[in-house]
Structure 1
């Protein structure tokens, strides 16, 4: 019985996957959420900051003079979706009426903070 040669031609070598050459890239996005309703004075910023850090997001959250809360967060699309779902509910005392999302350019920040 003949043994198969270990040296394969270039055409045959291309059929097999090599490990380590194709590393999956992690997509990063940055989103802004304007949260409307009864969202100030109920611990919304603190809860949002805590949730964002749990999800590994970077960015910031702040109160706006018109009674809304603005959130800018950067990270994976899945984590951003989770944060948006949290913003639609908010903390126990909040009454969220609407969340308006928009996409922004990535800044590369690596922390999450509460701004005044």
Structure 2
């Protein structure tokens, strides 16, 4: 049976600290000026238990950083790649790391 932890809002989610991850994704395509960051934040909040941000980059990409249970990060990554996102996603590149912390919720930067 998997361990269960509780997020600050009191909702339980599967896993413990050992399954927490940091996912950084760079989304390319027509993803700026179309509400992409707002929808990314809304989807991260819907998934729940994720902290991080979405940021427009100068080269036209959007950077998304999400920390939380690895399965939830993977769900956000799947949405970035295949979901009903605004604009047009041409591709997503991601890297995985250990969480660094320091985020208060999921922000638009």
TM range (shorter): 0.7 to 0.9
Structure 1 unpaired stretches of 5+: 1-21
Superposition pairs of residues 34-53 of structure 1, within 5 angstroms: 34-53=26-45
Q: 2:105 aligns with which of 92, 104, 111?
A: 111
Regions of 4+ moved over 3 Å: 89-93
Structure 2 unpaired stretches of 5+: 4-14
Question: Does residue 1:95 correspond to 2:88, yes or no?
Answer: yes
Aligned residues: 94
Instruction: Compute the RMSD of aligned alpha carbons.
Output: 2.0
Question: Does residue 1:82 correspond to 2:75, yes or no?
Answer: yes
Deviation, structure 1 residue 89:
3.7
TM-score calculated relative to the size of structure 2: 0.77
Q: 1:28 aligns with which of 20, 23, 29?
A: 20
CA offset digits 1:66-102 (Å, max 9, x no partner): 0000000011121111101111145554111110010
Structure whose residues are more often strand by fraction = 2
